[in-house]
Amino acid sequence: MQGAVSVSPAQIPELLLGLATVRPVFLWGAPGIGKSSLVRAFAESLGLECVSLVGTQLAPEDLIGVPQLTPEGRSRFCPPEQIARDEPYCLFLDELNAASPDVQKAFYSLILDRRIGSYELPPGSIVIGAGNRATDGALARPMASALVNRMVHVHLRASAGDWLRWAAGAGIHPWVVDYLTDRPDHLWSAPPKSEEPFSTPRAWHMLSDTLHSFGPTLDDETLKVLAYGLLTPQHAIAFCGYAKIVRNAYGLESILKGDARWPHRPEDRDLLYYLADAFRGRLVKELPASKEHASGAQRQTAFRAKSLLVQLAEISVEVAQTVIADGTDGIPVLPSWFLIEAARDMPRLVEARR
């Protein structure tokens, strides 16, 4: 399911306060963006215990319970202790849309009527479901229309601003916080079609934990193992480059001022990629869309940028091309006037360096 309207994590508590207290809610969102954590935090804010049932780990009898004979010789189903509680609580149905059709069907009355068999959830209890979308490449089954119509559907999107505000008080490693402050667009990336790691808030949190675990003894090769084992490859190489800058006090400003050159050693290729990406970001930020609106300082930046592109291409044409490449949507990221000038002046600048 895709939603025309999505919300950020910061909007969830207020939405759930108005929705989940009166009707069951289903949170849709990509893997790793914090759906489960948000539900647990919301339940805690209401003083309710959060009882999680994972759809992929359930069979219908896990919900309905087992039959038991009454003194009158009749049978009744006894729901499991995990569900049948005396005090109000938050019933969290995680990965509900990944459950088998029989399990989804078993949830019908529990979701809509807050009842299963003869047991009814205590007044004040809330029911919240969550799941990934089929388009995310995650395990997800079609949800029957009868089940869809029993819940209010909310679509969650990742928000770098929300995550960074949370990270500030959650002990997230400063390298992760500082890197994502500079590159908030790297917080999340769409799940790839192939089986490889990809960046999510959860993946960055896991990277933070491993950085804390290794501490100051972490070497560059181990850092690569950690980053490439958790993040989108392009983000991993950029993060490793950033870490080298932090360790060596070697940054883009020094290159822009002419106090340092692009790193050229083969073992510094990740650093080169990171600096090139930061260089591209700086140009996008500083160069105006129209040359007529460029100030003297901006024209000087453009001239210096062309010279730096030549120097970068001498080390790696591939890396230099990433600076002037179009965006993922095929639309140029840098101003067209700068790209035209760069193509025109590049031969002259190359000749001047010979």
Model confidence band, residue 219 (pLDDT cutoffs 50, 70, 90): confident
Report in angstroms the alpha-carbon separations of 220 from 20, 223, 244: 47, 5, 8
Query: Greater confidence, 331 or 190?
Result: 190
Calculate mean pLDDT across residues 220-248: 91
Task: HSE, CB side, 13 Å, CA atoms: give it for residue 57.
Answer: 6
Distance from C-alpha of 111 to C-alpha of 24, rounded to nearest angstrom: 6
Q: What does the pLDDT look like over 261-306, one tens digit per residue?
A: 888 888 778 888 888 888 888 898 899 989 888 898 898 889 999 9
Position 240 scores a pLDDT of 92
Under the phi-then-psi rule, with left for phi > 0, alpha for psi from -120 to 50, and beta for the rest, what region is 2?
beta
Query: Greater confidence, 59 or 333?
Result: 333
Q: What is the mean pLDDT of the chain?
A: 87
Position 138 scores a pLDDT of 65
- Residue 69 pLDDT > 70, yes or no? no
Q: Parallel, antiparallel, or unpaired for β 75-78 and 25-28?
A: unpaired
Calculate mean pLDDT across residues 145-167: 93
Distance from C-alpha of 185 to C-alpha of 328, rounded to nearest angstrom: 13
Given the structure tokens 């590159």, which residue do they identify?
183
Model confidence band, residue 188 (pLDDT cutoffs 50, 70, 90): very high
Query: Greater confidence, 38 or 60?
Result: 38
- 3-state SS assignment for residue 199: coil
pTM equals 0.70
Q: Which of 226, 338, 345 is nearest to 283 (CA)?
A: 338
Q: What does the pLDDT look like over 97-124, one tens digit per residue?
A: 888 888 888 888 888 888 887 788 999 9
Are 32 and 201 within 8 A, CB to CB? yes
Distance from C-alpha of 53 to C-alpha of 116, rounded to nearest angstrom: 15
Are 25 and 152 within 8 A, CB to CB? yes
- Residue 353 pLDDT > 60, yes or no? no
- Residue 178 pLDDT > 80, yes or no? yes
Calculate mean pLDDT across residues 29-44: 94
Position 263 scores a pLDDT of 84
Given the structure tokens 């003083």, which residue do they identify?
47
DSSP 51-83: EEEEGGG--HHHHH-EEEE-TTS-EEEE--TTT
Calculate mean pLDDT across residues 9-21: 95
Cβ-Cβ contacts under 8 Å for 87 (sequence gap 6 or more): 49, 122
Distance from C-alpha of 307 to C-alpha of 304, rounded to nearest angstrom: 5
- Residue 247 pLDDT > 90, yes or no? no
Q: Which helix (H) or strand (E) holds 153?
A: strand 152-156
Distance from C-alpha of 29 to C-alpha of 37, rounded to nearest angstrom: 13
Distance from C-alpha of 38 to C-alpha of 29, rounded to nearest angstrom: 12
Amino acid at 180: L
Position 114 scores a pLDDT of 87
Amino acid at 284: V
Position 133 scores a pLDDT of 83
Quickly count: other Cβ atoms within 10 Å of residue 286's Cβ.
Answer: 14
- Residue 65 pLDDT > 80, yes or no? no
- 3-state SS assignment for residue 209: helix
Say which range, 44-58, 134-148, 231-245, has the weakest mean pLDDT: 134-148
Q: At what angle do helices 35-45 and 12-19 cross, to 10 degrees?
A: 60
Position 328 scores a pLDDT of 72
